[in-house]
Structure formats: structure tokens, C-alpha cells
Structure 1
Amino acid sequence: MTTGGRPRVVLVDDHRLFRAGVRSELGDRVEVLGEAGDVAEAVEVITASGPDVVILDVHLPSGGGQAVVEEVKRTDPSVRFLALSVSDAPEDVIAVIRAGARGYVTKNIAGDELVEAVQRVAGGDAVFSPRLAGFVLDAFAALPDEAPPVDPELDQLSAREREVLRLIARGYTYKEVARELSISAKTVESHVSAVLRKLQLSTRHQLSRWAAERRLI
């Protein structure tokens, strides 16, 4: 940490106004080294600045928070990540924690609580919003004598790609998925193409069958 014990922080969120709000809430209690709005920019800023803590949204353009954590951890395992997201979906939480994040809090957190969470993560603690802690513990305690089951194919998908996969597999059209997730139909199409490529599938029917076999629908 910097002199005076202020954690050095990078903010990663694709909404510039939200980043400005977080920066305002943090005030001078942390030192903000930089900001980023997508995966590639985040990796570049984090690698260049070497923060103590990265405050990270789990849904980003061109990938997700999970991809940022995995990419940075490959070259600098010392960087700690605190996910700050509107989503409290178990699959989002588990994916980013499995990737290496030290905490996960939701965006309704108060400013003082966020500062405390950042300080605790910088000090090495794991921090979760109370409602999230239970199913995180349940997920990782499900098999006490073994690691949690891993699906290599599913793990290569970002959190957003998994959301799109589930909706497409349920029969939603691109427009319906776009409306449900508040993204453009073109972005949905891009995500579906990425999912098909990663899973080595060629049709929506195969995608639906793949999801059904894993009880994802």
C-alpha cells in the first residue's frame, strides 16, 4: 500500500458514470491509479499500474470479469480483485471467485462499506455481501474431500456467455435475449457465435441439447 495505508485501486466497469460515482464514494480513502471499461483495457491498466486491489464488474464488453482476473493472475498473482456487480446470480459469483477474486459485493453497498471491503481485501481477507457468503460456502463445501466439480467446457465461457447460452437454449430469439439482458441483438449474436466456437458446435439445436445435458436450462 501507499504511504498512510491507502490501498491503490483500479476501477473496472463499462459504465463511465458508475465509475465516477464509485470514485466519489471512495474519496481520498483510497488512491485510484486508473480506470478501464473493457477486458483488454483493464488488463493493460492493471499490468501497467500494479494496484493493490481491482474493483471489478463481472459483466464487461468482449468478455467478463472472470477473463480479467485469469489474464492478470497469469503474470501477477499478487493483484487482488473485489467484484462489485449488480448481479447476485450464483454462477456469476462462483465463476469470478473460482478465477481468483478475493471478494464479491453487490452495487447496493454503501460507500463506507465499500471502502472497508477494499481495505480488507488489500489486507488479504475474503469479503462477501452477507447474502452471497452462504452459497459461496455451500458451493465449495459441497464435496469436502475433493475440489468442486469442474466442467472444462463450461468454464471457458464468460459469465455473460453463460447467460446468453441459457436463454438461447430455452428458445429465446436474439431480440428477446437482447431485451432480457439489456444489450443489443448484435451483441447477442456475437456472444452466440463465441459460445458455438468455444464449444465446437454449429447449430442452436446442438447448443440446446448441450445445455439440457448439463441441466443448464
Structure 2
Amino acid sequence: MTSVVVVDDQTLVRQGIRGLLEVAEIDVVGEADDGRAALAVIAETSPDVILLDLRMPRFDGIWTLEQLRAEEVDIPVLVLTTFDDDELVIGALRTGARGYLLKDVTLKQLTRAIHTLAEGGTLIAPSITDRMLRAIRSGPSPAGPEAPPVQSLTERELEVLRLVAHGYSNREIGDVLFLAEGTVKNHVSTILTKLGARDRTNAVLRALHEGILDD
């Protein structure tokens, strides 16, 4: 059973999410009301996925993402928030979030996103994708101003990257391209190196920014 930690400053929201996810057979192993409390719960429970709100008093979602990255915590983070402005979306993804959903999603959409991230994929709400792409392409490179130039990708690497951009996990990519999961993992690692990206989401952001991927 997939396990999650829910980080949200509103008790009623946390309880509601817990109740819904338990119906969907997803195990909520911990809750926290801000980033500092979340770090302790995450260290204690080691969930498969972290559900993270962004706007919280004291230690907010971006602070939490920064701390997780600094501590090299390799647990996928799914942002679940009511806020969809470009600055927050891009900031969360650049800081390490692997998914971004609004709180008006259905239970089916939420559970699909959780399973997608748990399996190594990424997922961003379609309603904010167009604005996100425009913001990425008009702004600085997601890899930073001193990032090395991207290296050319092979046709197979482009195929893998397109599927990564659509939220496919390594296993799902292997099924589509008739490749072993280990082979897909090697392709993804090479893609990250060639794009100078720290993770899958950052690789997709930089590929979009550089015009390597079509919308």
C-alpha cells in the first residue's frame, strides 16, 4: 500500500484528505501543520509520497522543499494547494516538487497523481500547464544562470523524455517503448546529465525552456 504524509496548516483539510485517501486504500502515515513539523514526521515515517501545501504560517511549502533538498531527502513531493499563480508553480517545481495539483481535483485524480509520483513519474495539473510553459520560456533557465549548455539527445532519449514530461514512471515508459525498466532508468540518468538537471521535473522544465520538447 502506498504511504503518504499530509502537510497542511488546516486541521480539517488534513482530516478530510486522510479520510478520502483511506477510502482509496492509500495509507496516511503522518500529518504536519508546517514545514518544521513535517521534516520530523517524514524522517520518522519515510513515506512514499509527501502531500504538501504551499501557503502555511511559519515554515511554508517552499521552505520545506528547500530543506528536503538540502538534506537530500529522496521522497517525491506532490504540491496540493489552492494557489495556482505562476511564481508559486515555477518556484515549487524548481525547488524540487515532482507534482502540482489544485485542491479542486477529484479523489481519482489525486490518487492517480500519488501513484504516479510513487512510481517515479511527474504530474502537473493541466489547467496550469499552459501558463507554466509561457513563464518558463520567458524566464531564466530552470537549471540556473551558470548551468552548462545542454548536450544533444538521441532519438531514443527524446522518446523517453517526452514520456517523462507526460508523467510516466520508468515502468510505464518501459511498457510503451518495449524496454527493460533498468534500461529506462539508464536513459533517464543520461538525460539528466545531458540537460544539467538535478531531477526529472527539472529536466522537463529545462527541455521546455530550451525548446527541446514541443508543447
- Residues 103 and 145 (structure 1 numbering): CA distance in 2 closer, same or farther, change over 3 Å? closer
State the aligned residue count: 145
Structure 1 CA distance for aligned equivalents of residues 90 and 123 of structure 2: 14
> Which position in structure 2 is the counterpart of 1:40?
36
Structure 1 CA distance for aligned equivalents of residues 85 and 136 of structure 2: 16
- Residues 132 and 49 (structure 1 numbering): CA distance in 2 closer, same or farther, change over 3 Å? same
Q: Select which of 5, 11, 14 maps to 1:16.
A: 11
> Which position in structure 2 is the counterpart of 1:54?
50
Tell me, yes or no, if the aligned pair for 1:12 and 1:37 is still in contact at 8 Å: yes
> Which position in structure 2 is the counterpart of 1:26?
21
| 1:70-104 C-alpha deviation (Å, 9 max, x unpaired) | 11222243111000001111111111111100010
Letter in 1 for 2:30: G
1:23 is displaced (CA, Å) by: 1.0
Over aligned residue pairs, what C-alpha RMSD do you find? 2.1
- Residues 131 and 44 (structure 1 numbering): CA distance in 2 closer, same or farther, change over 3 Å? same
1:148 is displaced (CA, Å) by: 5.7
1:145 is displaced (CA, Å) by: 7.5
Which runs of structure 2 are paired with 1:129-144 in the superposition (5 Å)? 129-142=125-138
Tell me, yes or no, if the aligned pair for 1:140 and 1:147 is still in contact at 8 Å: no
- Residues 62 and 145 (structure 1 numbering): CA distance in 2 closer, same or farther, change over 3 Å? closer
Which runs of structure 2 are paired with 1:68-83 in the superposition (5 Å)? 68-83=64-79
1:29 is displaced (CA, Å) by: 1.9
Structure 1 residues not aligned, in runs of 5+: 1-5, 151-217
**Residue identity (%):** 34
Q: Give the 3-state SS of the residue equivalent to 1:60 in structure 2.
A: coil
> Which position in structure 1 is the counterpart of 2:81?
85
Tell me, yes or no, if the aligned pair for 1:12 and 1:55 is still in contact at 8 Å: yes
Q: Give the 3-state SS of the residue equivalent to 2:28 in structure 1.
A: strand
Structure showing greater Rg: 1
Which runs of structure 2 are paired with 1:1-217 in the superposition (5 Å)? 6-27=1-22, 28-142=24-138, 147=143
Tell me, yes or no, if the aligned pair for 1:39 and 1:61 is still in contact at 8 Å: no
> Which position in structure 1 is the counterpart of 2:167?
none
Structure 1 CA distance for aligned equivalents of residues 16 and 70 of structure 2: 30
For normalisation by structure 2, the TM-score amounts to 0.62
- Residues 146 and 118 (structure 1 numbering): CA distance in 2 closer, same or farther, change over 3 Å? closer
Tell me, yes or no, if the aligned pair for 1:73 and 1:79 is still in contact at 8 Å: no
Structure 2 CA distance for aligned equivalents of residues 8 and 84 of structure 1: 16
| 1:16-68 C-alpha deviation (Å, 9 max, x unpaired) | 10011111111252111100001210111112211111000001111311111
Q: Give the 3-state SS of the residue equivalent to 2:78 in structure 1.
A: strand
Q: Give the 3-state SS of the residue equivalent to 2:18 in structure 1.
A: helix
Letter in 1 for 2:99: G
